[in-house]
Chains A and B, each alone.
Chain A
Amino acid sequence: MRWSYVAPRLTLLVLLWAFFFFAFDPLLKWGMIKGIEKAAKAKAEIAELETGFFPPRLKMAGLAVGDSSAEFTNVVEFAELSFAAEGKPLLEKKLVVEEGTLKGLRFGTPRKTSAKLPFVKEEEEESRLAAAMSAEAKNFALDRVGDVKTDLSADYKVEPGDLESVKLAKELEESYTANYAGLAEKFDDGKYKADMDALKARYEKAKGEKNFIKQAKEYADIAKDAKKVMDAFKKDKAAAEAALAEAKGAFKKLEEARRRDQAAVMAKMKLPSLDTRSIGRMLAGPMIAEKTEQLMKWMAIAKKYMPAGTKGVLKNEAPRGREVHFPKEKTYPTVLIKKLQLTGELGLDQPLDYSGTIEGLTTQPQVYGRPTIAAIKGAKGPRRLDFRGSLDATGDLIRTDSRLSYSGMAIGAMSLGSPSSLSVAINGATGALEASAATEGDKVSGKAAFRLTGASFKPSAENIKAAQLRSAVESSFAGLTSALIEADISGTVTKPELSVRTDLADNLSKAFSSAMGAELKKAQDAAKAKVDEALKPYKDRLDSMASEKQAELSNKLKASGDRLSAEGESLLKGSSGRSPLDKLKF
């Protein structure tokens, strides 16, 4: 035995044990803090971390992760996380936990020290949806409604150059001309004529061939080549027609732009809409958009860290030799927490205690083959919380499905609408939220209903100069104690679309209509007519050019097709029924 080799290794083993006994936990804690800080871009703290080897276990206490956008707030914190890993999967470098415990999970808690990290760039992401809704609410100005009676639209001039639809019509005209030139160039019928002439020449030559076998072979080749020419023609023809259809489809955008122009002109004229949806968006849109943006932001973060849809380790191939795989009695994902018991608090002022479980948390859902399911319940006094959610990443697309019911919420004070147009202060309400949402890949769909009861509504209508309208708005909220706000969400996680409804909007619409609905409608129609009038010459020119070019190209395609067919037939007739060319039909 070479003791000079063995002895140092034994010493190394002793040192290794000493390392794990004395230094492993502090180093792991430091590494985890750095990892979390890198991901959260804010400071993170772990009060205590303890590991054990027999059985392999981890206990982490006092974790707090700062919010990169709010210096003295924690995004998340918990009191204790503990779990014991199964030994057998660890030998395959897999962390499998039968049951873990997470206690005291809270969100958005205040922190005493700054969460800012040095040298971290602040990312100011503008909330597009919330900004658009706020602008809509702000533009829903009622200050000049009283002027509609004096025919406000008569003094408003529409400049064609400023209209989005006119700009688009000009762009379409230019691009259509360029695209048509490209199509005409691509569709070069001279090329097919030359090919067909060459085939005819070959056919004439083959007719003189005395060797029957050679002649039959040449006929067969000519038939094949003729088919190729016709196939190429058909392919180009289909491409040209598809390009034409695509160009025509672009014209639909013009109609959308026209609608936007009409809305913009009305906003510039400061004419409010009588449509309950528009009023609903003005009132509840900014609040819902803000909440939706927050939800989408969390979903985007979750998606970023969600496991990829591959089976990972199962695709390992050796650089040398071949790997032969055998049936595996049990395949473990790299990380799996089968069940996590969860307790925590929701809200800061009057925290609601909740508890629940999350089952099937894993980094490799396709290997695990089951979705992650969360079920959380909470109750305190009249408040009730019930959340159920599932995340299925076992297929090609990640699917989520969640339902939330939260009733008995005490709403201290909240405000709807915009102070620059019309805002409504709501006090002393009790809220109940019922929401469901589902995602499939990037697509999102969901609905939410928020009911307010026992509330007092106080409209702030100082900006409305027309006394008649102001009074109608104020009286529409008088004696009101409840309201229902509903929202539907669709679109994608990165670009959600919202549809907002509220019975408060119905009240307001009635108030607008009774006060000065007829005059308002007249002014709006006049605004629409002005946009149409400005756009008409450009639209007519575009329509006429498109029709003319389309007819021209269609005629060209038909003529070329007819000529090729005729030449093909003549080629076939000349073969006297002896060759495979007979079978060819153009």
Chain B
Amino acid sequence: MNPLSLIRQFIKGLTAETTPGQIGAGIALGFLIGLMPKATLTAQLLIVVMMASKVNLPMAVFAVAIVSLLNPFIDKVTDPVGYALLTAEALRPLWTKLYNTPVFPWTGFNNTVVPGGLVFGAVMLAPVYLGGKKFGAYYNDKLRARVMNSKFVKGLKASWLFDWYFREGV
């Protein structure tokens, strides 16, 4: 991923795509990505979805960062769930088939925290989305103006680099 592009989308996200739903979706998607080991095709595909959809990017990135930091604790839940799924006799033919299918092993599905994380993420997706949506409303009402008036964002918007890079405006 182009880092400049990410920064650009990130800064744009501070002012655009800020409806509570978009913020909630960003947080939910970021939460799911955060649960995954990043060097897998699953995580990379989710990142592509995040970048291609109109979710709020800064919130999604924050969610990814925070959940990634909490992973050592979350793994204590996702690892046994994933292990139970991967060693379930009923699912063994499916896993074996996927294991022998080209490209699929790159998704890291045989790593306990991937299926565990996907199941945990799916279960938590709705509550996280709803919580995120509420936070989005609160952010728009109370925090957005403060963020936009912060020295960091003002300084960034006033810089010549920003002016040159975001000629079409943000």
> A87's closest neighbor in chain B, by CB?
B102
Interface assignment of A305: CB less than 8 Å from any CB of chain B = no
Question: For the complex, what is the distance from the CA of A366 to the CA of B120, rounded to whole Å?
Answer: 39
Which one of B23-31, B50-58, B125-133, B139-147 is at the interface? B50-58
**Residues A321 and B51 in contact in the complex (CB < 8 Å), given A91-B103, A326-B96, A326-B99:** no
> B103's closest neighbor in chain A, by CB?
A91
Q: Which residues of B contact A54 (CB under 8 A)?
A: none
Q: Which of A281-323 contact B (CB under 8 A)?
A: 318-323
Contact of B53 among A1, A88, A319, A323 (CB under 8 A): A1
Interface assignment of B112: CB less than 8 Å from any CB of chain A = yes
Q: Which residues of A contact B96 (CB under 8 A)?
A: 326-327
Contact of B111 among A321, A327, A329 (CB under 8 A): A321
**Residues A321 and B52 in contact in the complex (CB < 8 Å), given A92-B105, A327-B96:** no
Which one of B59-67, B79-87, B154-162 is at the interface? B79-87
Contact of A5 among B52, B79, B87, B116 (CB under 8 A): B52
**Total number of B residues with any Cβ neighbor in A under 8 Å:** 30
- Total of A-B residue pairs, C-beta within 8 Å: 65
Minimum CB–CB distance from A325 to chain B (whole Å) comes to 7
Question: For the complex, what is the distance from the CA of A399 to the CA of B18, rounded to whole Å?
Answer: 68
Minimum CB–CB distance from A176 to chain B (whole Å) comes to 61
User: Is the beta-carbon distance between A2 and B52 smaller than 8 angstroms?
Assistant: yes
Interface assignment of A112: CB less than 8 Å from any CB of chain B = no
- Majority SS at the chain A contact face: loop
Interface assignment of A324: CB less than 8 Å from any CB of chain B = yes
Interface assignment of B110: CB less than 8 Å from any CB of chain A = yes
**Residues A324 and B37 in contact in the complex (CB < 8 Å), given A2-B54, A5-B51, A5-B52:** no
Question: For the complex, what is the distance from the CA of A329 to the CA of B102, rounded to whole Å?
Answer: 12
Question: For the complex, what is the distance from the CA of A418 to the CA of B146, rounded to whole Å?
Answer: 96
Question: For the complex, what is the distance from the CA of A88 to the CA of B100, rounded to whole Å?
Answer: 11
Interface assignment of B135: CB less than 8 Å from any CB of chain A = no
Question: For the complex, what is the distance from the CA of A2 to the CA of B8, rounded to whole Å?
Answer: 13
Minimum CB–CB distance from B51 to chain A (whole Å) comes to 5
Q: Which residues of A contact B111 (CB under 8 A)?
A: 318, 320-324
Interface assignment of A328: CB less than 8 Å from any CB of chain B = yes
User: Is the beta-carbon distance between A324 and B54 smaller than 8 angstroms?
Assistant: no
Interface assignment of B114: CB less than 8 Å from any CB of chain A = yes
User: Is the beta-carbon distance between B100 and A328 smaller than 8 angstroms?
Assistant: yes
Question: For the complex, what is the distance from the CA of A44 to the CA of B100, rounded to whole Å?
Answer: 40
User: Is the beta-carbon distance between A321 and B37 smaller than 8 angstroms?
Assistant: yes
Q: Which residues of A contact B102 (CB under 8 A)?
A: 88, 91-92
1/0 per residue, CB under 8 A from B, across A453-491: the answer is 000000000000000000000000000000000000000
Interface assignment of B113: CB less than 8 Å from any CB of chain A = yes
Minimum CB–CB distance from A328 to chain B (whole Å) comes to 6
Q: Which residues of A contact B108 (CB under 8 A)?
A: 318
Extra inter-chain contacts (16) besides given A323-B111, A324-B112, A326-B110, CB under 8 Å: A1-B52, A1-B54, A2-B53, A2-B54, A5-B5, A88-B102, A92-B105, A318-B108, A319-B37, A321-B82, A321-B111, A324-B110, A326-B96, A326-B99, A327-B96, A328-B100
| Residues on A facing B (Cβ under 8 Å) | 1-2, 5-6, 8, 88, 91-92, 318-330
| Residues on B facing A (Cβ under 8 Å) | 5, 9, 37, 51-54, 71, 75, 78-79, 82-83, 86-87, 92, 95-96, 99-100, 102-103, 105, 108, 110-114, 116
